[in-house]
Structure 1
Amino acid sequence: MKKLILSTLMAGALAIGANAQDFDKWSLEVNGGFNKPMAPLNKNFLSPSLNLGHVDFGVRYMVNEKFGLKLDYGFGSMKEAGSDDALTQEFDTKYYRLDLQGVANMGRVFNFESFTRTFGLLLHGGAGIGLVNPEMNAYNDFDDNVYNFIFGITPQVKLGKSVALVGDISTIINGRQTVTWDGAEAIRPDISNGYYGANGTWWTGTLGLQFYLGGNEEHADWYIAADKYATKEELATQINGIKDMLKDSDGDGVPDYLDKEPNTPAGARVNSAGVTMDSDGDGTPDHMDNCPFLPGPASTNGCPVEEVVEQLDFFKKAINDGYVNVYYAFDSSKPLGYSTSAASYVSNFMKKNPGVSVEIKGYADELGPEDYNMKLSERRAKAVYDLLIASGVDASRLSYKGYGEDTSVDKSSADARQMARRASFEVK
């Protein structure tokens, strides 16, 4: 019972923590570095492997911690490789591009938090428009309007709550590019018709910064879903508070916060609310009543005045009328704490009456397979058998048996099914 209560309260506390947190979604990005035109180039021109001359700016919005969108603008200049033997001719080409891209945060997709919370990785890809503008050679000042596709990878290093250092390598494919990167020749002779293939290829490599906007503890790039739950310290505080709630000061099996009588004496029979039981309603609680199932005044310790009846007869009547039972939770053979006092009652009586033998009878409700319930009922009877032996009753005076399903109760009623999940006693 305590474990069930503890699990329920902890789940509620963690759910509250989950709803209380969020992450920032916007960021600004600035990068600068190298470019490299790959093709098409005239045979008389070469480009450097790393041509310093590219800058881009971007704004990004993350829909969630894994996926988002960004709009970025890039521009730069491409020049010749340079050669002492003058085999390479000069060129200088400016370019501009504007792209809308999708972004995937691979750090969250692949759970980088299992080994680092400092390094991240973004993948991005999309499309846009651009302009290639040679400033030298045959097509000097020709405005080559293109569309493009862009794909890239962006490693990240978290520097603080609001900023990260990033590198990026992107490949761009231009479509409808009419002239070569060097501006020396047209890709097709008739430049008036343009060239509508994806024929211009280049890449950029940059280093830059990402600035996160917002007032939350983390941006989506670094937000970890598990962090929405309580920290270790917060969880320890919550557990300690719950443990305090589950204290059972009087040891009757009912935690204090549910116990309506948190100071009942040791050995007293109580119900599920921790209230001392008075089975015959005569005002004398069972643990003080010598005749707990027959009403009588306190002056005779709860026994009737009009006739003297042996205590053994009271006990047999209580057993035969089904007043003394140990109860169990669904599919369990562990006695519910509040009902173990019934076993204590039987134990005390047997010690006072050494000639008495008792059979313990186990029962189950009608839910589940019949053969399984038969075995479950026997385990329940065996659990009470073990309790009585542990209390000092000789095993030779005890027997136990499982009787399977109790079909005398209303199967559709949860309360009735609870009454069926029991172990009863029969005096021999």
Structure 2
Amino acid sequence: MRKLFIILSLFGVTQVSYAQKDYNQWSIEANAGFNKAMAPLSPDFYSPSLNIGHADFGLRYMINEYFGVKGDLGFGSFSETKNKSPEFTTKYIRMDIQGVVNFGRMLNFESFSKKLGFLGHLGAGFGRMSFEKTILNTSPDYHYNIISGLTGQYRLSEKVALVGDISMITNGRQTYTFDGNYYNADKQPDNPYENPMVHAMGNWWTGTLGLNFYLGSKDQHADWYLASEKYATKEELASQINGIKDMLKDSDGDGVPDYLDKEPNTPAGARVNSAGMTLDSDGDGTPDHMDNCPFLPGPASTNGCPVEEITEQVDYFRKAINENYLNVYFAFDSSKPLDYSVSSIQFVSNFLKKNPGVQLEVKGYADELGSEDYNIKLSKKRAKAVYDVLIESGIDSSRLSFIGYGEDTSVDKSSSDARQMARRTSFEVK
């Protein structure tokens, strides 16, 4: 056993030194469950179909998402069927090196579930059986074996998976029956203590439940890694780049591409919303880019500022938030604010500086594209990006917090324009 793990460890060090992958490759396996000694058994000896008494431990290395190798150690005992067979106890231990195939990836299990997996394994090794309650003066029986099996997986987290395995083992050059009371030969010697030195095969199987523990610093293990989610073909990239170029045309230079711009001729310097329309946040008839007090209504004669000082600015600011005037928008799969949204952050910063008693939460969102875990991470990155800009502008971090809410469920998922509006951060006055 010591040699087996030394060999596997050296193999792993060699692989790591040659290449770094985008996924984890090592895992530890621990399983326990049933065994069944099928044949040969001595006349009138029987073993139960589900005999509790097997455990195995393994170390697995995946070369890529589809193929790997593992070494494992299995041990346990066979016993008789109660009230039907004479008593016997046979203890065994086996060690094997096996090749592993990730059928779940080959069969595209991710098309219907990203939590289910399916592995196959095949290999060879050697084993030892020792016998108790036998009529023969037997020494331990050493043999080689061939093992094959199928393993179902259910991912509990990125680091742990629940597994169920069924394996068939064929022993070669097995000297005794599994109960140890007969020689594994067609004809028994006249003297039961005289070993005829005849060897034949023995067949048994195991059924277990257990856990796989994934090792490494990457987000996913090779069992669950989907290269197609990260990489696109050259043709797909070229098509996407051409499409992005067309989408980024901005005729009036307001930071909103033409395909989203509902007011294509806004004046230079105007503050606009995500649809490219000029904003008048306080509704006083003076556009924000001409309004010296964009959140306080006032006449045009005072450049949009109130004639009398209004002290309840927080109410106006909260109103602007509730009516979606202050959102920061992002491009697809990006945590960098779009240019036309930066002014929203500036307005928030100025407000906080004028109202030192106000605390603020930055809330990040994403569209429905992508997995739930990925959208949570992306929305949090977006909120953190805006949070960092506010701190850089001079706002104390104790007045700010940020959180990622993942997918924005309030928009129409069938509309590409709506998805763009979902890629945003908003604010909440605390």
* TM score, norm. by length of structure 2: 0.49
Larger Rg: 1
* TM score, norm. by length of structure 1: 0.49
